[in-house]
Structure formats: C-alpha cells, structure tokens
Chain A
Amino acid sequence: NAGVTQTPKFQVLKTGQSMTLQCAQDMNHEYMSWYRQDPGMGLRLIHYSVGAGITDQGEVPNGYNVSRSTTEDFPLRLLSAAPSQTSVYFCASSYGGGGSYNEQFFGPGTRLTVL
C-alpha cells in the first residue's frame, strides 16, 4: 500500500493564480481531511470529508474548495492564491470518525509558496 500520497511536493504560485493540490489514499478510508501548518500555529483544519460526496468546512476554509467524488481522492483547490496561503499542506485519512481512537494517516505534505 502506498498510504496517503500528495502531489506536488513543492509549488510556487503568483498571487491570483489557481491550482489544485492532489491527495489520494489506497486504504479505503472513509474520512479524509486537509490541514495547513504554519510556523507557531500548529495544524489547522481546512476542509474534511466523511465519505464520497460529503464534505464540510474546518476552521480555516476561506479561499479553498474541495470535492470528494471517489473514496480514494480528495483534491484541494486554491481559487485565487494569496501570500497568506503560503504554508505546508497535509492531507490525512482515517478509517473512522470522531469519538473513537482512529489513527490519522498523513501524506508527505505540499510546500506552497505564493509570491
């Protein structure tokens, strides 16, 4: 199993450009999430999905869109990149949801710089 994969690993954008960060998992997990990690801030939840066709907002959703058409894939779209979106983005998946001890499996991250 490849686990959780993310592409690209690094990306530089100009302000106003759009792009999609890809995330895929091969563990048949229902739950998938996107986080961003900034220095001194910890990981913050952007969007999450509890299954194909179902998504919801996290604590910092503005400027990002997601969709979940299959169990395996959970892409994150930046609509119009801003310097404030410079960050490291992690995708994660887990077997089950909250209230239980389900391990989150993280992808290797995408390091995004917006100029």
Chain B
Amino acid sequence: RKEVEQDPGPFNVPEGATVAFNCTYSNSASQSFFWYRQDCRKEPKLLMSVYSSGNEDGRFTAQLNRASQYISLLIRDSKLSDSATYLCVVNREGNNRLAFGKGNQVVVIP
C-alpha cells in the first residue's frame, strides 16, 4: 500500500460548483498534514495545513479523520483560478521526511 494515496482525476467541475476529494495515508504515526497546490509546470505551494479540529480558509475546508486515516479538501463556489493539482502531504514519523500523494487534478469549466 502506498504511503499516501489520491485519486488523480481529473475532477471536472462547473464554475460555481463544489468539489471534494479525499486522501488516505497508511502510517498511523503521521503527525502533520497539509494540502499543497501545484499549477502546471510550477512549484508546489502551501494551500493549508490540516489540523485535528479541521480548518477553513475562505472557500476551502480541510478535515482530518485519524481513525480512518484520511484527510479531505472541499472547495466551494469553484473559480476558474482554482484549476490546479492539489497535493496531499503527510509528515512521516515525526521527522522532516514528507510523503506526497500524486495529486488530485481539478479542472474548473466555465
């Protein structure tokens, strides 16, 4: 089983719609969780950290479910500018060795 698994998609989303996707991780000792955004041929950039209590940043909501070992990202009122690949990132075993998922590709359609 891969350390971090994501359905690569693509997720074709009408503008203004809501899209949500999950990421599962295999190491129950993982301590910190993130969503990064990567635009085509660009470097990844932090979108948001994912805390145990869940967190929201504008139209973006992230949740963590430790019991089932997954994190989720929900995007409301999708904009054309949300088109990107969203990378699930999990910290391994309390050190600086991050594990990246393959990413969820989101395409927002006018």
- State whether A40 touches B102 (Cβ < 8 A): yes
Task: Give the complex CA separation of A97 and B103 in angstroms.
Answer: 23
Task: Give the complex CA separation of A43 and B96 in angstroms.
Answer: 14
- State whether B97 touches A108 (Cβ < 8 A): no
Given A48-B97, A90-B44: A98 and B87 interface contact (C-beta under 8 Å): no
Q: Is the interface of B mostly helix, strand, loop or mixed?
A: loop
Q: Which residue of A lies closest to B46 (CB)?
A: A103
Q: Which residue of B lies closest to A97 (CB)?
A: B96
Most buried by A among B44, B49, B89: B44
Residues of B within 8 A of A42 (CB): 4, 87, 100-103
A2 is an interface residue with CB less than 8 A from chain B: no
Count of chain A residues near B, Cβ 8 A = 26
Task: Give the complex CA separation of A97 and B96 in angstroms.
Answer: 5
Q: Which residues of B contact A (CB under 8 A)?
A: 4, 8, 31-32, 34, 36, 42-46, 49, 51, 87, 89, 91-98, 100-103
A33 is an interface residue with CB less than 8 A from chain B: yes
Q: Mark A85-111, 1 if CB is under 8 A from B, else 0.
A: 000001000100111110110111100
25 contacting pairs across A/B (C-beta < 8 A): A31-B96, A35-B100, A40-B8, A40-B102, A42-B100, A42-B101, A43-B100, A48-B97, A58-B97, A90-B43, A94-B96, A98-B32, A98-B93, A98-B95, A98-B98, A99-B31, A99-B32, A99-B95, A101-B32, A104-B46, A106-B43, A106-B44, A107-B43, A108-B43, A109-B42
Q: Which residues of A contact B (CB under 8 A)?
A: 31, 33, 35, 40-45, 48, 50, 58-59, 90, 94, 97-101, 103-104, 106-109
Give the shortest distance, in Å, between A40 (CB) and chain B (any CB). 7
